[in-house]
Amino acid sequence: MADAPRLTVLVTGASGRTGQIAYKKLKEQHEQFIPRGLVRSEESKQKIGPDSDNIYIADIRDANGIAPAFQGADAVIILTSSVPKMKPGFDPTKGGRPEFYYEDGQFPEQVDWIGQKNQIDAAKAAGVKHVVLVGSMGGTNPNHPLNSLGNGNILVWKRKAEQYLADSGITYTIIRPGGLLNKEGGLRELVVGKDDELLQTDTKSIPRADVAEVCIQALQFEEAKFKALDLASKPEGGGTPTKDFKALFEQISSRF
């Protein structure tokens, strides 16, 4: 691989918690990758810190605005997602459940469907060779509790975008992680599955850093192409940390 040309990889949602990790990992592997980022605002760009050269600012709801970020990219890792916010005033001591809402313009239909569709279209128009899309486990169940948060139907819209990518003709990898943990990566055995089977087990969460790593590894193996996988991890110390990503992708046969 030493003689292979470096891949220009665009990370969208690069200021998010998983996006920042993916962008940083690509920067650290500068002999293999030329990283780019796409963020929504100057404020988001500042979150990435001093490493924020090669960051484009555009709103994914604006199909024309995002196009320049995709020009000349070999691969794209889509890590954009709407994020529900908790309504103020919730007091856990009084029982009941917190209520959630989405900010204007940040509803799942706008971000996880229209925004991701725009990105897939932009990637196709720019001749991008491989798109890695990070979705979420739970999408097979329309009644999943995440869909009721803020009446956003977030998993429904994510699933629609995943299907759009699978039907687009672009080489793709769809990764659907379980619950995201803010823990160190590289210390756990990773587990793959399909159709939300992992939600019936005890292994249904994964560190964000491991999700970011799998995204980058997916760009390097034929075995990851045209595949969709659910992704989780065993508890730290509960298995052998995954190092052979080719073997991990070989376990997957499902295209969606």
For range 67-90, the mean pLDDT: 95
- Res 2 pLDDT > 60: no
Q: Where are the beta strands (DSSP E) in the chain?
A: 7-12, 33-39, 55-57, 75-78, 85-86, 100-101, 130-134, 172-177, 179-181, 190-193, 205-207, 227-233
∠80-85-86 over CA atoms, to 5°? Answer: 155
**Catalytic annotation, pick one of 15, 44, 136, 233:** 136
For range 177-189, the mean pLDDT: 96
Tell me the C-alpha distance between 178 and 113, whole Å: 20
Q: Give me the residue label for tokens 């309504």.
A: 87
Whether 136 is catalytic is yes
| pLDDT tens digits, one per residue of 191-220 | 999 999 999 998 899 999 999 999 999 999
Inter-residue contact 113 to 160 (CB < 8 Å) = yes
- Res 157 pLDDT > 50: yes
Tell me the C-alpha distance between 98 and 85, whole Å: 10
pTM (two decimals)? 0.95
Strands 100-101 and 85-86: antiparallel
For range 173-180, the mean pLDDT: 97
Q: What is the maximum alpha-carbon separation in the chain?
A: 63
pLDDT of residue 143: 93
pLDDT of residue 144: 94
- Res 1 pLDDT > 70: no
Inter-residue contact 206 to 234 (CB < 8 Å) = no
